[in-house]
Homo-oligomer: A and B are copies of this chain.
Amino acid sequence: MSAGSSQGSARRGRPGYDQELLVRRAVEVFIRRGYDATSVGDLAAELGLSKSAIYHHVPSKEHLLSLALDDALEGLEAVIADATREPRDVSAYARLRGAVRQSVLVLVDKLPSVTLLLRVRGNGEVEISALARRRRIDEQLAGLVRDAVSEGTLRNDIAPDLISRLLFGTVNSLTEWYRPDGEVDAATLADAVVELAFDGLTVPRG
């Protein structure tokens, strides 16, 4: 945000509010009260803004949701793009391990918008489109799992689709309890998830 746009927004909206901050604070309210249960009036009251200040930044509540979900989805899509852009001599196993680690880092970095994304159930166009993008991400990650099973680096006694579900279920479950201001930093968390899932918790014998 440039100083100019900040002044422009301060003149017309509440001082210091720009679209990015509005989205961030709206996401907090949506998570706490539920998106469907929150009207633009509720949102304005929670944020100490007028409804017209909100409509100055976005045309609708759906638009706020769409910006928040885009933020989460772009982060996760970048993880997949990175994993598939690796040189050909990098194993599917290494790509998958990297993608899991990066997914955790994105989740921590964009915790509120990813949390909101994971609660989307498909009410309305914005949610349906977000679910379709999320499904595409899940399919690409499942493809990485299948490739790693095929190359013989990932165990083949659990169905690859079940592995994908469990693996990304573990990553997604972090939104339920992880708090960035707690004792565990993002890198420690990401390493722990990768080690639990790939290497297991059991101390190796001998």
A65 CB-CB contact with B under 8 Å: no
| Nearest chain B CB to A1 CB, angstrom units | 34
Name A residues whose Cβ lies closer than 8 Å to a Cβ of B: 34, 37, 93, 118, 152-159, 162-163, 165-167, 169-170, 172-174, 176-178, 184, 188-189, 192-193, 195-203
* Chain B residues closer than 8 Å to A184, beta-carbon distance: 159, 162
Known: A162-B184, A172-B176. A198 touches B201 (CB 8 A): yes
**Contact A202–B158 (Cβ < 8 Å):** no
A34 in complex: contacting residue of B34, B93, B167, B195, CB < 8 Å: B34
Known: A34-B34, A173-B173. A162 touches B202 (CB 8 A): no
Which of A93, A163, A176 has its CB near the most chain B CB atoms (within 10 A)? A176
**Contact B170–A169 (Cβ < 8 Å):** yes
| Nearest chain B CB to A129 CB, angstrom units | 20
| Nearest chain B CB to A47 CB, angstrom units | 21
**Contact B155–A203 (Cβ < 8 Å):** yes
Which of A165, A172, A173, A178 has its CB near the most chain B CB atoms (within 10 A)? A173
**Contact A154–B196 (Cβ < 8 Å):** no
**Contact A167–B196 (Cβ < 8 Å):** yes
3 closest Cβ pairs, A-B complex: A200-B200, A169-B173, A173-B173
Known: A201-B198, A202-B199, A203-B152. A193 touches B177 (CB 8 A): no
